[in-house]
Amino acid sequence: MADIAILGSGGWGMALAVSAHLSGNNVTLWSPFDEEVKMLTEKRCNEKLLSGIVLPDGIKITSDISCVSGSALTILATPSTVIRSVAAQLALQKDFGIVVNVSKGLEKGSLLRLSQVIGEEIPGAKIAVLSGPSHAEEVARNIPTSLVAASKSLVTAQIVQNIMSGDNLRVYTSDDLVGVELGGALKNVIAIAAGFCDGLGLGDNTKAALITRGLAEMSRLGVCMGAKEYTFAGLTGIGDLVVTCTSRHSRNNRFGHKVGTGVPIEQALKEVGTVEGYYAADMAHSLAKKYNIEMPIIDECYAVLYEGKDVRNVTNDLMRRPNRSEH
């Protein structure tokens, strides 16, 4: 049994709170919004974000960030866009244990991985990432799921593994922090492209090719940035990519589907909610240019989302590229 503070009461934060509670841990769920805390305390659920899931009475809910004091793990489950500001608040607290990021993305402007952002705000902190194919809707329902705890220190990763593992949550370890984080960020962009396929009415052949070639792009960039190539063949690479590209739970896929059917981008964002891949597409495009890496699928997503390209032209432009070897 361990004390766990989860910063962020969205769907993923709530799902991890339920999972950690069921594994016998003492869990506190934090939200900066007093109205949200009141609603969750009274109703013990948020039907909009996690339909049908009731938070057990044993999970504490608060807007006081000092709740992290004495925690073995402090889990950051906020949108990637506010990771820096939340980490800055956390830095003012004491005895918050290992900082575990579960958000997937990159920081706009700096192009830093989120663990790097946390490290800048909390120098000397023990930092880990928990990632993998894991829809909140299924984790909260105790459906068997496998994740990876990654850290520069395997000892740190093993501590996260031991605390978060449960009967239906199997956690592996990795010291490839770069690969695990990039897999989690980049797959969201490929999932938007997979949504384009669905919205355009294309077939299984097309989506299979897109997922496979998308993985090749992720791996190329990752290795160039210091990741291990085999990480992309694991849970946080192909595993997370497949589930995000094919599942009805995926907001990135749903967003891409809407755009593929002709829904304007701003309207699609409003209808779906937080779409991490929308922001990641911009940053992945910048990283590809920075490292001079060929990433045609990423480039096409960027062109549709930020340059006004007609999504109906993407398939032809990808298929008519010059012939080359697969590897």
Overall domain count for the chain: 2
Q: What is the pLDDT of residue 249?
A: 87
Q: How far apart are the C-alpha atoms of 169 and 19, rounded to whole Å?
A: 8
CATH classification at residue 284? 1.10.1040.10
Structure tokens at 298: 């990423």
What distance separates the 2 farthest-apart alpha carbons in the chain? 60
If asked whether residues 162 and 34 sit together in one domain, one would say yes
Residue 274 · residue 254 · CB < 8 Å: no
The answer as to whether 149 is a domain residue is yes
Tally Cβ neighbours within 10 Å of residue 12: 24
Pairing label, strands 127-131, 145-150: antiparallel
The answer as to whether 217 is a domain residue is yes
Structure tokens at 118: 């946390």
The answer as to whether 273 is a domain residue is yes
The answer as to whether 307 is a domain residue is yes
Q: How far apart are the C-alpha atoms of 7 and 84, rounded to whole Å?
A: 13
Q: Give which of 181, 175, 179, 176 is closest to 106, Cα–Cα.
A: 181
If asked whether residues 110 and 170 sit together in one domain, one would say yes
Structure tokens at 303: 């062109």
Annotated catalytic, 290? no
Q: How far apart are the C-alpha atoms of 232 and 148, rounded to whole Å?
A: 12
> pLDDT tens per residue, the chain (327 residues)?
899 999 999 999 999 999 999 999 999 999 999 999 999 999 999 998 999 999 999 999 999 999 999 999 999 999 999 999 999 999 999 999 999 999 999 999 999 999 999 999 999 999 999 999 999 999 999 999 999 999 999 999 999 999 999 999 999 999 999 999 999 999 999 999 999 999 999 999 999 999 999 999 999 999 999 999 999 999 999 999 999 999 988 999 999 999 999 999 999 999 998 899 999 999 999 999 999 999 999 999 999 999 999 999 999 999 999 999 998
If asked whether residues 87 and 225 sit together in one domain, one would say no
> How would you write 64-111 as a 3-class SS string?
CHHHHCCCCEEEECCCHHHHHHHHHHHHCCCCCCEEEECCCCECCCCC
pTM metric for this prediction = 0.94
If asked whether residues 8 and 136 sit together in one domain, one would say yes
The answer as to whether 325 is a domain residue is no
Structure tokens at 142: 């105790």
Q: How far apart are the C-alpha atoms of 190 and 302, rounded to whole Å?
A: 11
Using alpha carbons only, what angle is made at residue 189 by residues 186 and 192, rounded to the nearest 5 degrees?
150
Q: What is the pLDDT of residue 327?
A: 86
If asked whether residues 199 and 95 sit together in one domain, one would say no
Q: Domain containing 264: what range? A: 182-319
The answer as to whether 327 is a domain residue is no
If asked whether residues 122 and 258 sit together in one domain, one would say no
pLDDT tens column, 129-169: 999 999 999 999 999 999 999 999 999 999 999 999 999 99
Q: Which residue has the tokens 């991985």?
A: 113
pLDDT tens column, 274-321: 899 999 999 999 999 999 999 999 999 999 999 999 999 999 999 999
The answer as to whether 326 is a domain residue is no
Q: Which of 119, 140, 175 corresponds to the end of one domain?
A: 175
Give 219-277 as a DSSP string.
Answer: HHHHHHTT--GGGGGSIIIIIHHHHHHH-TT-HHHHHHHHHHTT--HHHHHHHH---HH
Q: What is the pLDDT of residue 274?
A: 87
Q: Which of 175, 190, 219 corresponds to the end of one domain?
A: 175
DSSP 51: T
From the candidates 104, 187, 207, 258, which is the catalytic residue? Answer: 187
If asked whether residues 107 and 220 sit together in one domain, one would say no
Q: Which of 126, 157, 175 corresponds to the end of one domain?
A: 175
If asked whether residues 22 and 146 sit together in one domain, one would say yes
If asked whether residues 232 and 296 sit together in one domain, one would say yes
If asked whether residues 26 and 149 sit together in one domain, one would say yes
CATH classification at residue 57? 3.40.50.720
If asked whether residues 171 and 202 sit together in one domain, one would say no
The answer as to whether 144 is a domain residue is yes
If asked whether residues 30 and 163 sit together in one domain, one would say yes
